[in-house]
Structure 1
Amino acid sequence: MKRFATLALATALAGCTVGPNFTRPQAPAATAYQSPGEVTPAGIALGEGPQLRWWTAFGSAQLDALVDQAIANNRSLVASNATLAASRDEVRAIAGRRLPQVDANARADQQQVNLAGFGFSGSNPLAPAGNPEFHLYTVGGGVSYDLDLFGGLRRSVEQSAAQAEAQQRQTEAAHLTIAGQVVNQVLTIAALHAQIDTARALLADDQRNVDLTEKRRAGGEGTLVEVLNAQSQYAADRSDLPQLDQQLAEARHLLATLLGTTPSALPANDIAFDQLTLPAQVPVALPSSLVHRRPDILQAEAELHAATAAVGVATARLYPDITLGATLTQGAPAIGDLVKNAFRGYDLFAGLTAPIFHGGTLKAERAAAVDRARASQASYEQTVLVAFSQVADLLSAIQNDARSVADQRSSVQVAERSRHLSRRSFQVGNSGILQVLESERLYQRASNGLVVARTRQFLNVARLYVATAGGWTGPATAPGA
């Protein structure tokens, strides 16, 4: 036994781990996202990036509660968390194969020997009377250990751990995405409420126009055509409300799904625009920091790690492997004899397997693993480029959103003044109702444009947070990760 243990230890120490070792890709040398000449928006602070709970920057406790509810109850996230737990369990399962495998067994047999099958019959004087019965009780166990001479098992554990990390990064991205979707949906609902308020205010103006034209006609100063024009505009504007109400209902239903609840359980009061604060300063991660915090980039990096380890697994199959083991068995015709030395048996063994000829399969499998690693490298680089482009797009969008909101505010002010003057002019008889209706159309268009511009501004800020924020922080990683 001592010689056996010494041989096992010496052989294990002589082993090596074949295949390439994974090296984390270097951070890009770029220090900015946008093209030369593009202006960085005011309020953008390049540094480490936003905090984990980035949505609190909008200053709404109700929004914070909704995001927290989604992270706790969203069914897609529950499934993602369970998948992550399964991947970590798989790491432990593969890691267990590197340890000695110990098994125990026990068996009880009762057997009747057919003597006729051995040439004995009842007429043979040497044959005992009848077929004899035997009882045999055995108990024992065995241990085996794969020396993993060239690190195939070690690379398998490394590969599995990298795959588990990729799943963790995917789960982080899912949490980040759900938080962003909740914020986007809350902003969409707020925008629809603002559009509905604008539409209802316009209807009130339309009703005043109808009343005014009817009074003018009754007083002999107006015409039936003016009354019909006012009534027609009122009916047309009223037809817009059902569609806005339907969009609002669908938006609230989708929000309920994101929160992991039913529409009937949603709070009665939605968040309005005036309850949200546009962050005065948005922290954005530097390019060198983004690659170490954005979940999709980290997922691509982990997948590259797994593909690199797979090359080592395939390489190890080209080399011999040794398995050591031992068994111990106690077998006796009576249970009481199982503890006696006379009924004990054992064996020690060492097995060698070495590939001789597999028709080129093993080499082809290794070549395929190398190709897949090359593809993972390209996918990682593409993920980084797409992420940088997305951040650059959002920075440009925020710059233009600020200009758009300012222009729309000016447009609303001019349209409001034009509407006021048109109504006064109509009241004193200097213009017709068509001029009033046209000025109101321009005011409605400008007001809706301002709502759209503000919504886009809030949404793009939220998207920038998602694009540069880190992911959800879950339980500790699995062993070997």
Structure 2
Amino acid sequence: MVRTMTVICFCIMSGFFLCLGGCSLAPKYLRPAAPVSAQWPKGEAYKARWSGVQPSISWQEFFINPKLRKVVAMALENNRDLRVAALNIEKAIALYQIQRSELFPGIDASGSWSKEHQLISGLPGGAQSPTIKRYSVELGISAWELDIFGRIRSLKEQALEQFSATEQAQRGVQISLVAEVANTWLALAADQEQLKLAQDTLKNRQDAYQLVRRRFELGVSSELDLRQAQMQVEAAKVDVARYTTLVAQDENALNLAVGKSVPPELLPHDLSETLAAVKEVAPGLPSDVLLRRPDILQAEDILKGANANIGAARADFFPRITLTTNIGLMSEELSRLFKSGSDTWGFVPQVILPIFDAGASSANLRAAKVDRDIALARYEKAIQTAFREVADALAQRGTIDEQAAAQRSLTDAAAATYHLSMSCYEKGIDSYLNVLDAQRSLYAAQQGLIAIRLARLTNLVTLYKVLGGGGPQNSTSSNVSHPDKQ
């Protein structure tokens, strides 16, 4: 029994080390060249002064407004989409461990008892037919495949790359969530200011309406002037109601992104307090910075997995060797089961050599290669899309300050025009039509200034997002250990 166990264990260990030392038929992976320019676009929309290197900073360093920091931290703790992404990582780890386990023999223990009555006629002396009892205990390995040609290792590598892709997907969800919360918070601030502007405009127009009404009662102004002033009051009331709705909807959107109700003390009151909510970034980087983006890293992991799957498909053309073995004890009496002479063992190696499968293996290999080509095209498209997103953000960043300066000048000019036209109307040297035009122009300019200030801040958030969120070390998924250590 001892010699038999030694021989079987030797065969199993030999097969195990042969499995570990087997070859791999997967193609060697080489990262494809990025299908974009090595430099960002140049032109009037881009600032030449952007020549520094973007540091990898966390969102805690990027957002300097304490209220916004607390809101983002709440979102990272409570957002349900982020929880689903984290659970997907745990699922990917489990699937990888399932695939990895096929490299090792599975050892099973079993015990059985059987009772069989054999009917035999014509026994001498009237003897009864015998009843046979069997007791057995076995320990064995069932159909363990020796991975000589790397089929199982290729599938394991594919599962590992799928885990890495899932981890990068979680990073992408986190970065998108941080940007979504920041943009929603800024939009709420802008709509709060738009609401305040609409309320102030309503008060000014009501004052103007009372002035025109007194002039009308004195016979100085016409009824047309009175009705036009009334129209402006009603239009301002519409805007007040509209922005009241938008503010409420912004708060609802922020609560959804955060995953719980945001305390009132963490909500912005207007856009002025958020002008220093984010730090400036220096996006003068070569285009290879895009390779840090989680969506591109995810696409590359999927490409690596497809590349490994080719090795598994190639291995299907070669023989599969499996081992089935067991050792145990068997006796017709339970009391003798563990005594000498009750040993039993079995050793069944099996070789399966593919000869004819109607082209299934060839088709499987072609499908694996096509999957690899599809993954390559998607990887390249992800890089091109990322390059375009960064270029668009840089183009806006290069012109937004000029737009803001021009809009401020326009607003100042519109305010001066309105005051002059109102003064002339009060003195009776100008018509009320010019006052209305100046009033509408001023209101539109003030709304435009708020919109541009919001665009400038959201552009910074967009740059943070499209540049990869400050680097891989900012992801909470970095706390997830390698699946081999789970």
Q: TM-score, normalised by structure 2?
A: 0.89
Deviation, structure 1 residue 284 = 2.7
Q: Superposition pairs for residues 95-106 of structure 1, below 5 Å?
A: 95-106=100-111
CA contact (8 A) 1:207 1:234 kept: yes
Deviation, structure 1 residue 331 = 1.9
| Structure 1 residues 158 and 5: CA distance shift in structure 2, 3 A | closer
Q: How many residues align?
A: 471
Cα distance in structure 1, aligned partners of 2:383 and 2:31: 14
CA contact (8 A) 1:49 1:286 kept: no
CA RMSD of aligned residues (A): 2.6
Cα distance in structure 1, aligned partners of 2:250 and 2:48: 32
Deviation, structure 1 residue 478 = 2.0
Deviation, structure 1 residue 243 = 1.7
The aligned counterpart of 1:160 is 159
Letter in 1 for 2:15: A
Query: Structure 2 residue aligned with 1:137, among 131, 135, 144?
Result: 135
Deviation, structure 1 residue 426 = 1.8
For residues 373-431 of structure 1, give each alpha carbon's deviation from its aligned partner in whole angstroms, at most 9, with x where no partner exists: 11211211111111111111111111222221111111100000011111211222222
Q: Does 1:67 align with 2:72?
A: yes
The aligned counterpart of 1:293 is 292
Cα distance in structure 1, aligned partners of 2:297 and 2:85: 17
| Structure 1 residues 26 and 186: CA distance shift in structure 2, 3 A | same
Gaps of 5+ in 2: 1-5
Query: Structure 1 residue aligned with 2:271, among 270, 273, 290?
Result: 273
For residues 203-224 of structure 1, give each alpha carbon's deviation from its aligned partner in whole angstroms, at most 9, with x where no partner exists: 1111111221223234443344
CA contact (8 A) 1:44 1:282 kept: no
For residues 322-347 of structure 1, give each alpha carbon's deviation from its aligned partner in whole angstroms, at most 9, with x where no partner exists: 22342112122333222112211012
The aligned counterpart of 1:446 is 445
State the percentage of identical aligned residues: 26
CA contact (8 A) 2:50 2:282 kept: yes
Q: Does 1:91 align with 2:96?
A: yes
Q: 24-33 vs 410-419, which deviates more?
A: 24-33
The 3-state SS of whatever aligns with 2:403 is helix
The aligned counterpart of 1:305 is 304
Cα distance in structure 2, aligned partners of 1:408 and 1:454: 10
The aligned counterpart of 2:84 is 79
For residues 297-337 of structure 1, give each alpha carbon's deviation from its aligned partner in whole angstroms, at most 9, with x where no partner exists: 10111011000000001011110122234211212233322
CA contact (8 A) 1:256 1:262 kept: yes
The aligned counterpart of 1:473 is 476
CA contact (8 A) 2:72 2:181 kept: yes
Deviation, structure 1 residue 257 = 0.7
Gaps of 5+ in 1: none
Q: Does 1:37 align with 2:43?
A: yes
The aligned counterpart of 2:405 is 406
For residues 101-120 of structure 1, give each alpha carbon's deviation from its aligned partner in whole angstroms, at most 9, with x where no partner exists: 211111233x35262xx5x3
Q: 464-473 vs 220-229, which deviates more?
A: 220-229
Deviation, structure 1 residue 5 = 5.6
The aligned counterpart of 2:415 is 416
The 3-state SS of whatever aligns with 2:110 is strand
CA contact (8 A) 1:158 1:480 kept: no
Cα distance in structure 1, aligned partners of 2:346 and 2:292: 55
| Structure 1 residues 333 and 418: CA distance shift in structure 2, 3 A | same
The aligned counterpart of 1:427 is 426
| Structure 1 residues 406 and 50: CA distance shift in structure 2, 3 A | farther
Cα distance in structure 2, aligned partners of 1:466 and 1:10: 47
Letter in 1 for 2:27: P
The 3-state SS of whatever aligns with 2:355 is coil
Letter in 1 for 2:57: Q
The aligned counterpart of 2:210 is 211
Cα distance in structure 1, aligned partners of 2:49 and 2:94: 45
The 3-state SS of whatever aligns with 2:22 is coil
| Structure 1 residues 434 and 174: CA distance shift in structure 2, 3 A | same
Query: Structure 1 residue aligned with 2:15, among 8, 26, 30?
Result: 8
Q: Does 1:21 align with 2:19?
A: no
Cα distance in structure 2, aligned partners of 1:354 and 1:102: 25
The 3-state SS of whatever aligns with 1:283 is coil
| Structure 1 residues 11 and 62: CA distance shift in structure 2, 3 A | closer
Deviation, structure 1 residue 45 = 5.3
The aligned counterpart of 1:357 is 356
Deviation, structure 1 residue 349 = 3.0
The aligned counterpart of 2:346 is 347
Cα distance in structure 1, aligned partners of 2:125 and 2:329: 32
Deviation, structure 1 residue 37 = 3.3
The 3-state SS of whatever aligns with 1:284 is coil
| Structure 1 residues 312 and 48: CA distance shift in structure 2, 3 A | farther
CA contact (8 A) 1:307 1:376 kept: yes
